[in-house]
Amino acid sequence: MVEKFKLLLEQIEQMNGPVILYVVSRMDNFVDSWSVIISADWVSADKEIQKSQFREILNLLVKVFTEDAVNIARVGLFTKTDYVTKQFSQFKSGTVLKEDRVNGYDIHEAHIIKSVDIDQTDTTDANENGDQMKLPT
CA distance 6 to 60: 12
Under the banding of pLDDT at 50, 70 and 90, the label for residue 129 is very low
Q: Give CA–CA dist 120/53, Å, rounded.
A: 25
| Domains of the chain from N-terminus onward | 2-115 (3.30.460)
Residue 120, pLDDT > 90, answer no
Mean pLDDT across 3-19: 94
User: Is the four-CA dihedral 96, 100, 105, 107 of positive or negative sign?
Assistant: positive
Note the pLDDT of residue 65.
85
- The reported pLDDT for the residue numbered 41 is 92
Which DSSP letter does residue 27 get? E
Q: Where are the alpha helices (DSSP H) in the chain?
A: 2-16, 47-64, 83-88
Is the pLDDT at 121 greater than 70? The verdict is no
* Contact by Cβ (8 Å): 16, 98: no
pTM: 0.82
- pLDDT tens for residues 32-88? 899 999 999 998 877 888 899 999 999 999 888 876 778 888 999 988 888 888 999
The closest alpha carbon to 95, from 75, 77, 109, belongs to 109
Closest by CA to 112, choosing from 87, 129, 77, is: 87
Q: Is residue 123's pLDDT more than 80? A: no
